[in-house]
Structure 1
Amino acid sequence: MLAGSTKRSPRAVRRLLLAPLCLAGALAWAQTTTAPAPSRLDSRLDSRLEHLREVGRFAPAKALPELRELEAQARAAGLRTKTDFLFQFGLAKLSIGLKQEAYALGEELYAYGRAQKDNRAMAKGLLAKSYSTYDLNRLADSHRYAWEAERLADLSTDVPLQVTSAIASAQSHGEEGNFPPALAKMQEAVAIARRHNDPVTLVIALDSLANLYSQMKEYDRGFEALDEAFKLAEKSASPGRQATLKSTEFILASSTNQPQRGLRALLAALALQRQIDADSDIVYSLVNLSDSYLKEHNYSRTIDYGNQAIEAARRINDESSVATARINIGQAYMGMGRLAEGKRNFEAGLKHYEESENKPELQGVLIEYGAVLERAGDLQGAVKAYHRERALSNELFEKQRQKAIWELQEKYETDKKQRQIELLSRENLVKSTEIDNRRLQQRVWWLLALVFALSSIVVTLLYRKVRQANAQLEVKNLELKQQSSRDPLTALYNRRHFQEFMRTHMQVEKRGSGTSGEEIVGALFLLDIDHFKKVNDTYGHAAGDLVLKMIAENLREILRETDMIVRWGGEEFLAFLPAIPRSGVEEIARRLLVGITAQTIHYQGHAITVNVSIGFAPFPLSPGEHPLPWERAVNLVDMALYLAKAHGRNRAYGVRGFANFAQTSMEDIEQDLERAWRSGFVDLSIVLGSNHEAGAEAAH
């Protein structure tokens, strides 16, 4: 697991860039540009601050005590000196994990700039707030502050500040996945740095551009930007700048499947960082080295670098990196067969993500945990991890769905108000016409009949338009009702519609027999796409959406029009077949497995195929005298699905019935379906996918 996230995300890249380079190199140069002549006292203070900027660029813990000594003197200095001190003081605190204190200094600097009516001070205050809220996981606030900082920086004469704010603005767009404006802003930052011929600022901009190209998967352009940055950095003889560029080379090499190049770059970066005691950067390099050796199955080095990372991270209060290192160490121990020790370390790291409330990252860590446990043979632990991830996935999916409904409702209300305004305008037009008619009646009596006729025509036309508007409103209401019961991406029914249907659905204990005398039953099928996250990570979310649409289309083709097909969660689908011969349930599962695997999606020159895992059962299920409620039946099918996941994927596990039920209970079966199956209390059937041996296995 890489530093900063479950993968090398824009978040991790941004933190590496902003701290060492942007707060030091560019801002140091800003001190020498179009500033007013400082007092002699301010000049001496500026010299000390410039020295501390060089120290704090990579070792903020060393610079912070001296900054505290200068605080009283700097707060009494002139506008420019005080502004730069508050900004540098806040970033030093942020670099050692004092996020709230750093945010408070950003607030103070912005308020000071407003009082002085100084765009430069306000822009720096907003940048400080953007960096702090970013580390506090308040991304929406961080992006808003960055964009406003860029607007104010462009009104100032501080060119390096304009470059820095343009980079922050571009990174904010990139974090939202909005790459066209992100690239435009980043290229603008490079262009400004070139025009003013400043190598330090240009290195910063080129390094940021290389990282953005990595996010966009345009790796050749990323390497081109990085090569130019390396040539400029070599002239400066700065170990810190070269270390930062080596870290970027590691990102690009890892993304282009060049592990040895990435490892060499990371080791070189660590050596340079240790020369200058760059504490926070050392932590990131150690964590990433631990992850790199983990991928090579070199578990002893994984543990060694992981322990070094924990020790270094604790010195700077970086709990996120401690957690990441713990997860890497846990995976290494599990790879060595030391399962208990590995789980203890992984759970210790996982605890940080749970406490940080960063649910998207927590979801990724849980998926990784389940996969590691599955490889280690702890299938029960893997199922529990997958269940935790699935619950979190459903929660996030429900929030996204609710947001979409709110947006749709808001649009509907806006359209409704617009129609009301149009109707009022027409009513006013009618009233105006009536007044004109009265005047005409008073002046010209012989035009009365004609005016009356015209008025009647106008009223008739308006009446028809009102009726048309009401008819359109009724159609819109029907559309809104339809949209509230359908998933917007796949056009399948959503979970809420299925729940409402099942609450009113009359279960029939015996559905009768078909023409051949065979028993007719209902059936539930729950499908989950195997390795769906890998599709999103490799090809992007647009490819993932195409996969979801393909699954929906195949379900419509394989099943009947009378069957209810539901998008149950993020990558889960539910099918309820109200009437089917009992012997045909397993055949339906086989057709679903084979039919979906046979489909290929062509996306940007790639051929994508996916498998699914399935849990299924006839419905209703009757373990005793009374049938199970539909909610418990779906839960049982979900447990069968996770058995299919844990036992190899691309297969279907079906609950056919129960045996010896007097010796157990439904609660015990739901606690551990696999144990109940192996104890003979549950009768399962197994259907293998197309890349397995054909046929269904009876499981007793």
Structure 2
Amino acid sequence: MSRLHRARASRVALAALLLSFGLSGPAAVSASDSHDRQLDTELAQWERTGYNEPKEALQGLQALRSSRAEANRPDHALRIDYTIGRVQAMAGDMDEARRWADRLENRPGGQPLALLLRAEVQDRSGQPVKAGELAQQALADLDPGCPQETPTFQVKAGCDWRSTYTALRIVARAQSARGEPASAEVRLLRALELAQSAGDTFATLMVLSQLALNAQDLDQPAVAQQRITQALQLAQGDVGATVRLRIVESSMAALRNDTKSQLALLEDGLRLAAHTTARREVASMQASLADAYMHTQQPARAAMLARQALPVVQEFGDQKLERTLRHNLSVSLVLLRQFDAARREINRVIELARGDNDAVRRILQLRELGEAYAAVNQPREALRLYHEERSLSAETAQRKRESALRQLSHKYDIEARQRDLELARRQQALQDQELTNRRLAQYAGVGLAVLLGLSVVLMGVMLVRVRDTNKRLKANQSLLRAQSERDPLTELANRRHFLSVMDREAGDAFRGALLMIDIDHFKQVNDRHGHAAGDMVIREVARRISQAVRSDDLVVRWGGEEFLVFARTVAPSALQHLAERILSGIGSQPIAIAEGSLRVTASIGYGHFPLAPALLPQHWEQAVNWADMALYTAKSQGRNRAHGIEAVQAEDAQALSQVETDFEAACSRGLVRLQTLLGPEQPADGTH
């Protein structure tokens, strides 16, 4: 017997064994249902084989496609052809996968599977947002056939649960890439319900691992640990699944800044994978280890591992992992001062990401590159990446807020519709009562008068209730608007509120003072003391800033560890004293945290607008940018200080724009005169 037939025979036997241990449902099932489940299990096994051995899987699937038993079932033929296209995508042959999608589209019932296969191609090409759009279209036809509530023992006949499950996970990845983890969780829980209902252990543990990462994005570490523990319990004895879960565990450890655990998990996973034929799992482990070494200041080892993994990743056409590897390689090369080679890798990453809207990944890449350039004293490139990252972070944060507001608004809309339905029901009951009253009026006039009186009372009660309901609804809507403009951690105004103030009061002729404030070395606070301590520091700094400013000044949490003060009426001569009070207020006394106390300082950039001496009009966004550039100068010259813009030599708007374009050079040439204020002197034992 050939190796192919032996492999196929063993997998058929394994399929039957799996069916007997949890996939077969109740004992009394039809022959058709049994055949459907056996095919589903066999296709799932070929998919797993195809991840590392696509040629073997494609040969087995082609043999299955040609068998006489399957030729008489069009629905089975569709699922087999979809699986062939999916394995082609796993192998990196995207053109062949697209051809299989075209074939599916032209056959009865093949449209949703064609859309799903095209979504797979986009997802494996590193385009998660485009993939999510296609998968969402496929779900419109796939999901209605599946049960909407958890069944007692199995999915119902007519439900292509595996395709629906795959589409839900792709949509969830797209939502995570757009910075919408709350929406992604809804999709993943639905996928988990389907996998558990079908009794598929591997599918269940895979979606549990995705739920664990999503819980990390939602800042729910306990939930994330619970999910990954469930997945590991299911994976016992399955080396391939355990290796994949080690990668997920290491990602979670990295998010917790637990570098020791991250390296231990990756090295254990690499040890497990090395004793198998799982070349892709080995490459994935090498990629994750390269990332870990990059973040632990071992750029040479990171670059070596990235170069070892690249050939395998390119062989399988895994552009998503290739992007990660090349990014880690570019950061490592920057740290090794091999700038030309680093730029080539950066350009290759940009080329691979063309058309992708994965903002979360791009923000992380910009931050890591900026920190690397700053570490090797390349301030111009670091500043450019810093501004690009901040702009993209602001857009992503806005999308997160809008997503949360949409969900909250949807909740209130449902409650309003329920109230309307209840009102309509009561009004209908009232109308029915009136009809009854009319019939009774034929027999008793007195009874008519009584019933009419009762009707008037009921209508009055209803009107009062409707009025009260409308008042509560309006109050809830006002509260929602107010909450959307407050930062929940500090209770300060947020960026949304500041933008609304600027829309009302500012424009192209902004007047007043701006102070941009950034907590020094805040990342070290999170790394050394944890995010809970970081939150305590942010709250206390917000309180100290609020105490230092005047009652009519607006204090805004600008984002992360940054704050903005808008002083509408402060005189230019008094602005220096305001900056001194804020510096002293933040840095003069330590901040109490759970582990003891912590000394924290801040850097400030400030200016009074329009800028002296020309007093040229500026839009408020330009004013914010000037204060931001002064802040960056303060941080680059030692932190724990404030730099204020005293004067700018510019006769017209064009000259002012040129100074703004290259602020650092303008300062060097004396076109910008800065005022420097030093913060409180810190003790010799350090600040953190």
- TM-score (ref. length: structure 2): 0.69
Q: What corresponds to 2:113 in structure 1? A: 107
Deviation, structure 1 residue 373: 1.0
Could you tell me whether the CA contact under 8 Å between 2:142 and 2:164 is conserved in 1? Answer: no
Q: What corresponds to 1:401 in structure 2? A: 401
Q: What corresponds to 1:580 in structure 2? A: 570
User: Bigger CA drift: 146-155 or 566-575?
Assistant: 146-155
Residue 213 of structure 2 is aligned to residue 175 of structure 1:
yes
Corresponding letter in the other structure for 1:634: V
1:239-638 aligned at under 5 Å gives the runs 255-257=258-260, 265=268, 268=271, 272=275, 276=277, 278-291=278-291, 293-294=293-294, 297=297, 299-353=299-353, 355-420=355-420, 443=444, 468-469=468-469, 471-472=471-472, 475-476=475-476, 478-483=478-483, 485-487=485-487, 490-505=490-505, 522-530=512-520, 548-569=538-559, 571-597=561-587, 598=589, 600=591, 602=593, 611-624=601-614, 626-638=616-628
Deviation, structure 1 residue 371: 0.9
Question: Per-residue displacement from partner, 1:538-596 (whole Å, max 9, x unpaired)?
Answer: 88877666555444433333323311123334554321112334344233334334434
For residues 476 and 275 of structure 2, the distance between their equivalents in structure 1, rounded to whole angstroms, comes to: 64
Could you tell me whether the CA contact under 8 Å between 2:244 and 2:281 is conserved in 1? Answer: no
Residue 53 of structure 2 is aligned to residue 60 of structure 1:
yes
For residues 135 and 452 of structure 1, the distance between their equivalents in structure 2, rounded to whole angstroms, comes to: 61
Could you tell me whether the CA contact under 8 Å between 1:166 and 1:188 is conserved in 2? Answer: no
Could you tell me whether the CA contact under 8 Å between 1:283 and 1:309 is conserved in 2? Answer: yes
Question: Per-residue displacement from partner, 1:178-208 (whole Å, max 9, x unpaired)?
Answer: 6666666666666678xxxxx634x567667
Q: What corresponds to 1:15 in structure 2? A: none
Question: Per-residue displacement from partner, 1:265-298 (whole Å, max 9, x unpaired)?
Answer: 577467546xx3x432343244345445545655
Q: What corresponds to 1:21 in structure 2? A: none
Could you tell me whether the CA contact under 8 Å between 1:326 and 1:349 is conserved in 2? Answer: yes
User: Bigger CA drift: 494-503 or 685-694?
Assistant: 685-694
Q: What corresponds to 2:90 in structure 1? A: 95
Question: Per-residue displacement from partner, 1:17-60 (whole Å, max 9, x unpaired)?
Answer: xxxxxxx999984343447999xxx9xx99xx89x969947732
Q: What corresponds to 1:643 in structure 2? A: 633
Question: Structure 1 residues 602, 562: CA separation in 2 closer, same or farther (over 3 Å shift)?
Answer: same
Residue 684 of structure 2 is aligned to residue 681 of structure 1:
no
What SS class does the counterpart of residue 618 from structure 2 fall into? coil
Question: Structure 1 residues 25, 679: CA separation in 2 closer, same or farther (over 3 Å shift)?
Answer: farther
Deviation, structure 1 residue 319: 2.7
Corresponding letter in the other structure for 2:663: L
Could you tell me whether the CA contact under 8 Å between 2:58 and 2:87 is conserved in 1? Answer: no
Deviation, structure 1 residue 176: 2.3
For residues 467 and 266 of structure 2, the distance between their equivalents in structure 1, rounded to whole angstroms, comes to: 72
Identity %: 27
What SS class does the counterpart of residue 237 from structure 2 fall into? helix
What SS class does the counterpart of residue 657 from structure 1 fall into? strand
Question: Structure 1 residues 570, 422: CA separation in 2 closer, same or farther (over 3 Å shift)?
Answer: farther
For residues 144 and 407 of structure 1, the distance between their equivalents in structure 2, rounded to whole angstroms, comes to: 12
What SS class does the counterpart of residue 281 from structure 2 fall into? helix
Question: Per-residue displacement from partner, 1:597-629 (whole Å, max 9, x unpaired)?
Answer: 5564646x6977765443211234245254434
Could you tell me whether the CA contact under 8 Å between 1:253 and 1:262 is conserved in 2? Answer: no
For residues 642 and 279 of structure 1, the distance between their equivalents in structure 2, rounded to whole angstroms, comes to: 46
Corresponding letter in the other structure for 1:635: N
Could you tell me whether the CA contact under 8 Å between 1:397 and 1:570 is conserved in 2? Answer: no
Question: Structure 1 residues 61, 212: CA separation in 2 closer, same or farther (over 3 Å shift)?
Answer: closer
What SS class does the counterpart of residue 547 from structure 2 fall into? helix
Corresponding letter in the other structure for 1:174: A
Question: Structure 1 residues 611, 322: CA separation in 2 closer, same or farther (over 3 Å shift)?
Answer: farther
What SS class does the counterpart of residue 356 from structure 1 fall into? coil
For residues 428 and 129 of structure 1, the distance between their equivalents in structure 2, rounded to whole angstroms, comes to: 43
Q: What corresponds to 1:200 in structure 2? A: 237
For residues 165 and 549 of structure 1, the distance between their equivalents in structure 2, rounded to whole angstroms, comes to: 43
For residues 448 and 384 of structure 2, the distance between their equivalents in structure 1, rounded to whole angstroms, comes to: 87
For residues 128 and 257 of structure 1, the distance between their equivalents in structure 2, rounded to whole angstroms, comes to: 34
User: Bigger CA drift: 354-363 or 433-442?
Assistant: 433-442
For residues 502 and 661 of structure 1, the distance between their equivalents in structure 2, rounded to whole angstroms, comes to: 26
Corresponding letter in the other structure for 2:623: A
Q: What corresponds to 1:247 in structure 2? A: none
For residues 391 and 453 of structure 1, the distance between their equivalents in structure 2, rounded to whole angstroms, comes to: 66
Could you tell me whether the CA contact under 8 Å between 2:243 and 2:281 is conserved in 1? Answer: no
Corresponding letter in the other structure for 1:656: E
Structure 2 stretches of 5 or more lacking a match? 1-8, 25-29, 105-111, 117-137, 147-154
For residues 427 and 476 of structure 2, the distance between their equivalents in structure 1, rounded to whole angstroms, comes to: 23
Question: Structure 1 residues 668, 680: CA separation in 2 closer, same or farther (over 3 Å shift)?
Answer: same
Question: Structure 1 residues 279, 89: CA separation in 2 closer, same or farther (over 3 Å shift)?
Answer: farther
1:633-672 aligned at under 5 Å gives the runs 633-659=623-649, 661=651, 665-672=655-662
Aligned length: 605
Q: What corresponds to 2:15 in structure 1? A: 30
Q: What corresponds to 1:513 in structure 2? A: none
For residues 436 and 334 of structure 1, the distance between their equivalents in structure 2, rounded to whole angstroms, comes to: 86
Could you tell me whether the CA contact under 8 Å between 1:615 and 1:644 is conserved in 2? Answer: yes
Could you tell me whether the CA contact under 8 Å between 1:150 and 1:162 is conserved in 2? Answer: no
Question: Per-residue displacement from partner, 1:437-476 (whole Å, max 9, x unpaired)?
Answer: 886898475996x989888877766665565555545544
Corresponding letter in the other structure for 1:255: D
For residues 400 and 31 of structure 1, the distance between their equivalents in structure 2, rounded to whole angstroms, comes to: 46
For residues 427 and 112 of structure 1, the distance between their equivalents in structure 2, rounded to whole angstroms, comes to: 40
Structure 1 stretches of 5 or more lacking a match? 1-23, 194-198, 218-250, 511-520, 695-700
Question: Structure 1 residues 478, 525: CA separation in 2 closer, same or farther (over 3 Å shift)?
Answer: same
Deviation, structure 1 residue 385: 0.2
Deviation, structure 1 residue 678: 1.4
Could you tell me whether the CA contact under 8 Å between 1:309 and 1:321 is conserved in 2? Answer: no
What SS class does the counterpart of residue 32 from structure 1 fall into? helix
Could you tell me whether the CA contact under 8 Å between 1:383 and 1:646 is conserved in 2? Answer: no
For residues 649 and 330 of structure 1, the distance between their equivalents in structure 2, rounded to whole angstroms, comes to: 28
Question: Structure 1 residues 279, 421: CA separation in 2 closer, same or farther (over 3 Å shift)?
Answer: closer
Deviation, structure 1 residue 660: 6.5
For residues 282 and 482 of structure 1, the distance between their equivalents in structure 2, rounded to whole angstroms, comes to: 51
Deviation, structure 1 residue 394: 1.1
User: Bigger CA drift: 672-681 or 87-96?
Assistant: 87-96
For residues 693 and 474 of structure 1, the distance between their equivalents in structure 2, rounded to whole angstroms, comes to: 54
For residues 606 and 409 of structure 1, the distance between their equivalents in structure 2, rounded to whole angstroms, comes to: 42
For residues 506 and 34 of structure 1, the distance between their equivalents in structure 2, rounded to whole angstroms, comes to: 69
Deviation, structure 1 residue 209: 6.9
RMSD (Å), alpha carbons: 5.4
Question: Per-residue displacement from partner, 1:642-697 (whole Å, max 9, x unpaired)?
Answer: 33344444443221222465898101111011111111111112334446699xxx
Question: Structure 1 residues 479, 686: CA separation in 2 closer, same or farther (over 3 Å shift)?
Answer: same
